[in-house]
């Protein structure tokens, strides 16, 4: 049944407009009209499209804070990875679901309405298949449905530990599937969820070091949905790729595959000028996760150069050390300010709004990366939206682009008042209806894992 939502302010297209009514029917925005329609509901704040989270490993939310101790020979991404391997050996299906549900509620409360779950935990702790090989993927879907968040589910193919086909390590045994096993997994997910308007399926060949070329070529043929892959996150990864093939990871992908809007390259941190230009022109999205990339010491993605060549990006929470979209957006800009010792660099035309530019670009790029009709308030898009509290101290007396600047650059205190996903309110007045029950289950899970 259609219902109308009246907004004093709303981000429609690229413009913050006043005094409009959005009509929503069966989860879709069907019209946006000036003025207040009869019998319309008042939004009660500033209406924005919900932010897409293009890259998440949900189980790692339970790890936040557990890897912040220096090792005997220093610490790096590679030593962090060993901590992660040890942690996940304790996770059972119920634990995966409890952690993911808690995470997804937190994402909603901060303004994300869709998550791209880069799901590589497939088998039991010994590396054996569950009775239903899609058991853990089902748990991710159950978490998304319990929280109400939209989902792009990206099951991961992972087969080798290094470029050139080295066998996986013991720590990686829960990730590993053959091509036949992966195809079976994907077909089960397609049969179970392919008709759900709040779920999109794609594939995620983990990385060039974890997926041999023949397997990569085969797995991307399984789907017409998004294709996500880790690429060039670490300097060592780039050096190993060159030793294996003579090419850097992104250069290898550009030369061997027709990258287009279906592709999202996660991190893509270490790029040459030529790679930056060609990746931007390809139409592929860069999946940037600044808080995780900073936490892991990855390096600096050439953000401004990539934008200058017309590249599109989305933001992701990755290891989920942060659940705030404004923190990710802010650090995209702040890292460049530190590098260049200057300010307002994302959009430099005189009078341009930095916060608004970041929000709009991340909405568009995130929607492309997740392969869903989201990221904009427009007829034909899913009714995935957030309502910012215009009376919150951070936003008081702010309107238009100034409200977006204030939202992005005024700290991590959430100003999200209401959240709608697929035409259904899932957060009202800053609360999820089941957040206490979900949090209690999460605390019990963590207590058991930490015992």
Q: List C-alpha distances in Å: 345 to 66, 191, 412.
A: 34, 46, 21
Annotated active-site positions, please?
267, 318
Count of residues for the chain?
Answer: 451
The 10 Å Cβ neighbour count of residue 180 is 8
Which among 52, 93, 48 has a CA at the least distance from the CA of 228? 52
DSSP states of 366-431:
HHHHHTSS-SS-STTSB--EEEE-TTSTTTTT--HHHHHHHHHSS-S---EEEEEETTEEEEBTTB
Which among 262, 361, 346 has a CA at the least distance from the CA of 314? 361
DSSP states of 84-96:
HHHHHTT--HHHH
What is d(CA 390, CA 311) in angstroms, rounded to the nearest whole number?
Answer: 32
DSSP bridge partners of 420? 385, 425
283 φ/ψ sector (left φ>0, alpha ψ -120 to 50, else beta): left
What is d(CA 329, CA 331) in angstroms, rounded to the nearest whole number?
Answer: 6
212 φ/ψ sector (left φ>0, alpha ψ -120 to 50, else beta): beta
SS3 200: strand
DSSP bridge partners of 201? 153
CB 105 within 8 A of CB 433: no
CB 298 within 8 A of CB 319: no
What is d(CA 22, CA 29) in angstroms, rounded to the nearest whole number?
Answer: 7
Residue whose pair of structure tokens reads 């309502």 in the numeric block: 387
What is d(CA 386, CA 372) in angstroms, rounded to the nearest whole number?
Answer: 17
Q: Which two tokens stand for residue 444?
A: 């019990």
| 341 CB-contact burial (10 Å; exposed 0-12 / middle 13-18 / buried 19+) | exposed
SS3 20: strand
């Amino acid at each position: 049944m259609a219902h109308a939502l009246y907004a004093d302010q709303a981000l429609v297209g690229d413009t913050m407009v006043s005094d409009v009514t959005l009509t929503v029917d069966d989860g879709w925005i069907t019209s946006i009209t000036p003025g207040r329609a009869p019998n319309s509901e008042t939004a009660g704040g500033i209406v924005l499209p919900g932010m897409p989270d293009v890259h998440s490993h949900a189980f790692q939310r339970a790890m936040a804070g557990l890897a912040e101790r220096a090792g005997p020979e220093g610490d790096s991404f590679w030593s962090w990875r060993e901590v992660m391997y040890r942690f996940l050996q304790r996770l059972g299906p119920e634990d995966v679901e409890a952690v993911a549900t808690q995470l997804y509620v937190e994402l909603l409360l901060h303004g994300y309405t869709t998550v791209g779950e880069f799901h590589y935990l497939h088998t039991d702790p010994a590396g054996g298949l569950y009775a239903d090989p899609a058991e853990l993927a089902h748990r991710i879907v159950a978490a998304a449905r319990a929280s109400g968040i939209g989902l792009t589910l990206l099951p991961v193919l992972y087969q080798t530990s290094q470029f050139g086909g080295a066998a996986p390590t013991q720590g990686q045994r829960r990730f590993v599937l053959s091509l036949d096993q992966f195809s079976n997994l994907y077909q089960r997910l397609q049969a179970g969820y392919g008709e759900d308007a709040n779920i999109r399926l794609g594939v995620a060949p983990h990385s060039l070091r974890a997926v041999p070329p023949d397997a990569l070529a085969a797995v991307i043929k399984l789907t017409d949905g998004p294709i996500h892959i880790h690429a060039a996150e670490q300097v060592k990864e780039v050096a190993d790729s060159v030793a294996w093939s003579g090419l850097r990871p992104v250069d290898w992908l550009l030369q061997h595959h027709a990258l287009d809007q279906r592709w999202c390259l996660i991190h893509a941190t270490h790029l040459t000028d030529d790679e930056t230009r060609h990746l931007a022109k390809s139409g592929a999205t860069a999946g940037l996760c600044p808080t995780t990339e900073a936490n892991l010491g990855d390096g600096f993605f050439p953000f401004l150069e990539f934008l200058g060549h017309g590249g599109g990006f989305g933001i992701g929470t990755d290891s989920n050390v942060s659940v705030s979209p404004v923190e990710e957006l802010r650090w995209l800009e702040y890292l460049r300010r530190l590098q260049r010792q200057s300010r307002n660099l994302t959009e430099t035309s005189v009078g341009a709004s930095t916060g608004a530019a970041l929000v709009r670009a991340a909405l568009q790029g995130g929607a492309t990366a997740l392969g869903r009709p989201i990221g904009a308030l427009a007829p034909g898009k899913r009714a995935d939206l957030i309502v910012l509290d215009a009376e919150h101290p951070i936003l008081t007396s702010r309107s238009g682009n100034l409200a977006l600047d204030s939202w992005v650059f005024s700290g991590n205190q959430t100003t999200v008042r209401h959240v709608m996903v697929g035409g259904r309110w899932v957060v009202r007045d800053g609360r999820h209806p089941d957040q206490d029950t979900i949090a209690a289950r999460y605390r019990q899970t963590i207590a058991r894992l930490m015992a």
